[in-house]
Structure 1
Amino acid sequence: MTTQPVAEQIARLLAAEGHDTIFGLLGSGNFVFTDAFARDFGGRFVWVRHESAAVAAAATYAQVTGRLGIASVHQGPGVTNTLTTLTHAVRERQPVLLLAGETGRGLQVNQTIDLAAFAAAAGARVHRVLRSEDAISVISRAMAEAQKFRIPVVVGIPTDVQVEEIEWTEPPPPASPNTPLSRPASADIEAAADIIQASKRPFILAGRGAVLAEARNEIEALGERIGALYGTSLVANGFFVGNERSVGVCGGFSSEVVPRIVPEADVVIAFGATINQWTAMHGTLIDRSKVIQIDTEEGALGVNGPVRLGLIGDAARTAAALLHELERRGYESEGFRGSDELKELQGFVAADEFGPVEAEGVIDPRSLVVELDRLLPLERTVTYDSGHHHWWPTAFIRVPDAQGFVAAQGFQSVGVALGVALGSAVARPDRVSVVFIGDGGTLMQLGELDALTAQRRDAIVVVYNDGAYGAEVHHFQPMGFETEHVTFGTRDIAGIASAFGASSAVVRSVSDIGEALSAWEEAGRGTLLLDCRVNPAVRSERLQEAFRAH
């Protein structure tokens, strides 16, 4: 059997395992295996301008497609440039394989780093290919680990190993996809059913675990029997789309109807949601003593505070078991049906909850989102960067399903969302990627605006341009601080986008939005940047929540 360099065998392995996309930025430490993957094995290489965006895009690709996300970076600074988004991917629990060049074995040169310590700082796992004959088995194990445990895995591949020749060996077979799904013990199901049967106003909360379990049908069947209202954590936004008893996202990013309704529930049945401080609004929205928490991992039960009852089980199987037990008992309830809360929910229109703050030459940031929701195609993938602006999109813009929303909030970092938008555009080219971002975050990652534009990705970049880091202005100014150090003045971001070749427009009024979208459609789509001059006087009422226990 003929031999080939390790770098080429890595490319062959990725293709043999069915992977077809790598996000990255090429340097000497990752050039050969990435190039071979695209050139010799029919893979797709999606380039970025900064390594941080490669991991953000790979994590998003994993979330939207349900497959492994793969990123490729150069050794040393190429690796360290990914720290923020690698941490984000860890917090978002996305299966990502980060193939990283390493300096030659035994060398201590400028680009040598402690890869294990780096990965540990982000919370990721790490493997290193220290012997050429182990390359296929090490990388195969890393891929399986990332997918099984839903965690980013960094694989270091020294440059001297990459040039050594080895024979091809078949990778170990992947783990069976038919992993048995867990179901709570009968006694636990009975205990949960007792609590539900004693309740009058049940609320069902779905989190990431419910999305991964594809448990909507089973959960809604349970909810129908007990007359529950439904809601989701932020990361499960879109899970109950179309259900007339769904309040949407529950927590700090919710619409104004949620704090009026959800506290009226006397039991909260949480499927695959850990109910963190944001979802519970620091306890003002969800009283944890009311919570029945269902999760596949024992360590997730009560991780953010004690709950009334914790059950270990798959979301779909547990919902089905609860329904069966209630049917066996002959129990059925009207729950919230016919209630004042349900009537309020069904008559609720988020856009009616505010009066636009008018000012010359600027647009109310809430009116901006409301109009975009009205005009944009519903088949879209929505994300937003962190910042003052991020409190508004979720409350006012619809998503088509749980795969149509990507919460770039895992590490709450400014400067992540354009990489996320690239990943979603690649993963779902049939949907326009819509990204809401501040002017500060845009200027941090301008290179990815070039990546989106040059690659002709269908994306709409909505820039909240207030000439400042708005969160800091609105937080510290009321406290009596001067804010000139976080106020920079307005930049012509539309002009920058035009220089990159993107469609662009300055938005100062609602009417400007429709004109810009019409011109974008006539141009055959691609990337559109809306430089939205938002009214800096409008302050999110939820901002202070973000700074609590910060």
Structure 2
Amino acid sequence: MRVYEAVGETLKRLGVNVAFGLVGSGNFKLVDYMTRCCGIRYYGARHEGAAIGMADGYARVSGKLGVCTVHQGPGVTNTLTALTEAVKSRTPLLLLAGDTATGALYHNLDVDQGGIVSSVGAGVERIRSADKTIEDINRAVHRARIERRPIIASLPIDFQEYDCDIEDPAPFVASAMLNPRPSEEAVSAMADMLEIARRPVIIAGRGAVLADARAQLEELGNRVGALFATSAAAKGFFAGSPFDLGIAGGFASSLAVQLFSEADLVLSFGASLNRWTMKHGNLFPSSAQIIHCDVEPTSIGRVQPVTLGVVGDATETAEALLRELDRRNIKSDGFRTEPVVQRIKGFRWKNDFEEKSDEGTVDPRFISLALDEILPEERTVVVDGGHFMEFPTRYLSVPDAAGFVPTWAFQSIGLGMGIGMGAAVARTDRLALVVIGDGGLLMTLGEIDAAIHLGIPLLIVVMNDAGYGAEVHHFRSLGLPTDIVRFKGSDFAAIATAMGARGMLVRKLDELEQLKSWLAAPEGVMVVDCKVNPEVEGDFLEEAFAAEV
């Protein structure tokens, strides 16, 4: 068995059945063997950044390990922005990269691949020898899953041809790891604070999603009368609850902001409580007490000062707290008074603003609301970075937390196409929607071709404001000229059609009705080019600019 064959067989034994990448001489034999002999489905990108994004999106939506393979040298350096996004999103991902031959001197492709990926926070697993290949790949996969970050294993092209002595290794079995439980003292302190609270709010973050803690947190909320909210990364976690206020922070509704300002206790489970979630420190009154629960002690209070820090898994902590509340016989309607319930029932997004469509352009907020009405409920929404991201994030509902995939942990643009394609592969039972700006799509136009080859329906909605919208609004707020960040405008519907996809142009809201025929029987790639009013500025962006002054 050759080394590259051993790698493929090891991945198969570990349950990997999907991989993404871009093929070159440094990984061709590996990809060929994985697909022909190991039953692993391979999806190719047109750029390595998109390939990593595909593995990232697949892992986030499926809950499985993302696997990506690329050529050596520039194949690795091309991954860096998307790799950083995966690092910051805490995505378990294995990157298998070719590498220059062990005996090569001063080769053009030779770079310190481990040092490069380490600089953005990815881990490195060294393959020690041919006979240790299987053990080391096992370890790399284990680390990716446990450390929840990308791990790279580099495979020199000559080394891949070496023989392995181990022909039929036993599968790697990791020892079971218990979820961390909170201390009795911490649970007692939490119960003390809940006993006197009258208007509690529970915020769930990505950690609560990973802990599958919805049932426990809902039961806790029902017990103490708490209202629910999430971080942006956990949007959809409480979907369907009549007490779900949606995302906390800059993307919150006017009603949510009003109710948050009345809270006297905040219980955060698995959320970082960063400046976006906490609306730059202005979301809750200064008198509100904050309980911050997380499995990682270093995350607690790192950004937002808190009253009580609790180290523990979200599910374990909620269950322990429920037992303590039961022992004390504590139960309250809390924040769920009849007036509050009626305010939540009566809220409508469209009442939060006035439409600002004009001749030839549409209001991006109304486009998002209209899409929410016509799209199937079973959907995966992937939102690229950029000024426009507030609109689909706010106004598009999702069935659960797996249905929403933000791509802006690194605050880049242009990652949505790759991540969206991976998300589409992960959940073929749901319609995948990528919402992207014109700037982001211009960076990744080639991936429309990759999307066509997926063979999976994919809807791409372009919020086309003919410029880098965030910079337009920022520079204008500073009294600076904006012509250097504006475009003449592109016809993405025509471009998509020329590439073999379907395309449609939307300049008026009612033109979106054309999409219904495609949605009735979605097939292939549909690109909807929405010419949006560039004068509509997102609330979160205005707040962010003000906070930086």
2:161 pairs with one of 163, 169, 174: 163
What SS does the corresponding residue of 2:154 show, helix, strand or coil? strand
Match of 1:245 among 231, 243, 246: 243
Which residue is 1:299 aligned to? Answer: 298
User: Counterparts of 1:16 and 1:328 in 2: how far apart (Å)?
Assistant: 47
CA distance in 1, matches of 2:102, 2:419: 34
Which residue number in structure 2 is paired with residue 334 of structure 1? 333
* TM-score, normalised with respect to structure 2: 0.97
Tell me which amino acid in the other structure corresponds to 1:452.
Answer: A
Deviations 1:51-107 (A, max 9, x none): 001111111111111110000000000000000011100100010000011101143
- Matched with 2:85 is 88
The answer for the alignment partner of 2:64 in structure 1 is 67
- Give distance in 2, aligned partners of 1:236 and 1:291: 19
Correspondence for 2:477: 478
Which residue does 2:112 correspond to in 1? 114
Task: Look up the match of 1:393.
Answer: 392
* Cα pair distance change 1:171/1:110, threshold 3 Å: farther
Q: Which moved more, 1:538-547 or 1:352-361?
A: 538-547
Whether the aligned pair in 2 keeps the contact of 1:386 and 1:413 (CA below 8 Å) is: yes
1:140-168 per-position Cα deviation (integer Å, ceiling 9, x unaligned): 10000000111110111111100111232
The answer to whether the Cα contact below 8 Å between 1:23 and 1:58 also exists between their aligned partners in 2 is yes
Which residue is 2:126 aligned to?
128
Q: How does 1:18-417 map to 2 (within 5 A)?
A: 18-107=15-104, 108-167=106-165, 168-171=167-170, 173-176=172-175, 178-286=176-284, 290-338=289-337, 340-417=339-416
Q: Which moved more, 1:468-477 or 1:103-112?
A: 103-112
Distance 1:34 1:549, change over 3 A: farther
Equivalence map 1:427-442=2 (5 Å)? 427-442=426-441
**Identity over the aligned pairs, expressed in percent?**
43
Q: How far did 1:549 drift? A: 4.3
Rounded to whole Å, the distance in 2 between the matches of 1:370 and 1:330 is 44
Q: 1:200 Cα deviation (Å)? A: 0.7
Match among 514, 519, 535 for residue 533 of structure 2: 535
Kept in 1: contact 2:14–2:172 (CA 8 A): no
Distance, in Å, in 1 between the alignment partners of 2:339 and 2:519 is 44
Take 1:381 and 1:95, find their aligned partners in 2: how far apart are those partners?
Answer: 20
Aligned length: 545
Q: Distance in 2 between matches of 1:483 and 1:316?
A: 49
Any conservation in 2 of the 1:129–1:157 contact (CA below 8 Å)? Answer: yes
| 1:263, distance to aligned residue in structure 2 (A) | 1.9
Question: Secondary structure, in 3 states, of the residue corresponding to 2:544?
Answer: helix
Give the AA of the match of 1:358.
Answer: S
Which deviates further from its counterpart, 92-101 or 119-128? Answer: 119-128
Which deviates more, 183-192 or 436-445? 183-192
1:500: Cα distance to partner?
1.3
In 2, Cα distance between the equivalents of 1:94 and 1:505?
34
In structure 1, C-alpha distance between the alignment counterparts of 2:515 and 2:332, rounded to whole Å: 50
> What are the within-5 Å matches in structure 2 for residues 485-500 of structure 1?
485-500=484-499
Deviations 1:466-507 (A, max 9, x none): 111111111111322111111111111111100111111000
Displacement of 1:520 in angstroms is 5.3
Single out whichever of 439-448 and 182-191 deviates more from structure 2. 182-191
Deviation at 1:413, TM superposition (A): 0.5
Q: Report if aligned partners of 2:465, 2:534 keep a CA contact under 8 Å in 1.
A: yes
- Cα deviation code 1:254-282 (max 9, x no counterpart): 22322111121100001111200000011
Distance 1:113 1:150 in 2: 26
Q: Give the match's secondary structure for 1:448.
A: helix
Gaps of 5+ in 1: none
Aligned-pair CA distance for 1:287: 5.2
2:262–2:285 Cα contact (<8 Å) kept: no
The answer as to whether partners of 2:375 and 2:519 remain within 8 angstroms in 1 is no
Q: Distance in 2 between matches of 1:463 and 1:189?
A: 47
Cα distance in 2 between the residues matched to 1:254 and 1:74: 43
Q: Is the 8 A contact 1:130 1:158 kept in 2?
A: no
The Cα RMSD (Å) is: 1.5
334-343 or 220-229, which deviates more: 334-343
209-218 or 71-80: bigger deviation? 209-218
Q: What secondary structure does 1:411 align onto?
A: coil
Q: Which amino acid aligns with 2:23?
A: L
Residue 169 of structure 1 deviates from its aligned partner by 4.8
In structure 1, C-alpha distance between the alignment counterparts of 2:29 and 2:370, rounded to whole Å: 47
Structure 1 runs of 4+ off > 4 angstroms? none
Deviation at 1:235, TM superposition (A): 0.7
CA-to-partner distance for each residue in 1:363-397, whole Å, 9 max, x for gaps? 11111000000000011100111111011112111
TM-score by length of 1: 0.96
Q: Name the SS for the 2:301 alignment partner.
A: coil
Report the Cα distance in structure 2 between the residues aligned to 1:256 and 1:437, rounded to whole angstroms.
Answer: 25
Per-residue CA deviation, residues 1-33 of structure 1 (Å, 9 max, x unaligned), is xxx221111111111211101100000001111
| Residue pair 2:250, 2:539 contacting (<8 A) in 1 also | no
